[in-house]
Amino acid sequence: MDEIYGIIPVSQLKNAKTRLSPFLSENERKELLKVMLKDVTCSLKKYVDKLIIISHDENVLKYSKKLGLSILKENNNSNLNKALKQAMDYCFNKTKKVIITPSDIPLIVKTNIQTLINSSKKTDFIIAPSKGGGTNALIMKPHAIKPQFGQFSYKKHINMAKNENLTPQTHDSFFISLDINTIEDLGEILIHGENTNTYHLLKDLKINVKSIHANERLKITRE
């Protein structure tokens, strides 16, 4: 039995990052999702025994195969939590632990993933919160809890772990917490993600960031 598998659910490209639509075109948002997925998977795959992409989008699955990743076609009439259950069904009895992350946290490259995974060998449940109370990483046995991704999922996952007599350990990381959803989030990539594929795409799109003292901390512009 392998030690750990990675699971990354990916939404359909046509629905990618609609909150960025006033700033990025549909094709640009599709490219953004692809480069973020590349950053996340390149960061993870050297530390896991198998990295699985689950998606209903054939283009996502084809792109993932080009990256050398294992793929699962998401069932019809599914959603994020059902897709994760499907992926864990696949992993059950194949691996001791799974690490679940989203595809839109490209700054994970700046974290010490090896230390995080090593910690999971001594701890039965590790969770990394996202900004706003969500969850951006879970390490646990397959089906240790039922995934509750969505609004304020961090507390839900903590409570479910405790209900299963697990001992949840929080991994508080700025770089993992940053999922890219807003225009200001793009600025964080330009500040912190210089060696990522995501950074290079944003620079190619002539996107720049400035520090300001106003309601928002960063001002994002395009040439």
CB 19 within 8 A of CB 179: no
Alpha carbon distance 51, 68 (integer Å): 9
Q: Quick check: helix, strand or coil at residue 204?
A: helix
Statement: residue 60 has pLDDT above 90: yes
Statement: residue 84 has pLDDT above 90: yes
Half-sphere exposure of 143 (CA within 13 A, CB side): 11
- Confidence (pLDDT) at 96: 95
Alpha carbon distance 188, 180 (integer Å): 9
CA–CA–CA angle 11, 12, 18 (5° rounding): 85
Alpha carbon distance 156, 220 (integer Å): 34
Per-residue pLDDT reduced to its tens digit, 164-203: 999 999 999 999 999 999 999 999 999 999 999 999 999 9
What's this model's pTM, rounded to 2 decimal places?
0.94
φ, ψ dihedrals at 35, nearest 5°? -70, -35
Q: Give the confidence band of 15 by pLDDT, cuts at 50, 70, 90.
A: confident
Statement: residue 215 has pLDDT above 80: no
Statement: residue 58 has pLDDT above 90: yes
Residue 222: count other Cβ atoms within 10 Å of its Cβ: 10
> In this structure, what token pair is assigned to residue 203?
């620079």
**Averaged confidence pLDDT in the chain:** 94
Statement: residue 95 has pLDDT above 70: yes
Closest by CA to 106, choosing from 204, 215, 209, 192, is 192
- Confidence (pLDDT) at 33: 97
CB 142 within 8 A of CB 149: no
Please name each of the domains of the chain with its CATH number: 2-180 (3.90.550.10)
Q: Give the confidence band of 121 by pLDDT, cuts at 50, 70, 90.
A: confident
- Confidence (pLDDT) at 213: 65
C-alpha 75: how far from chain center: 20
φ, ψ dihedrals at 96, nearest 5°? -75, -40
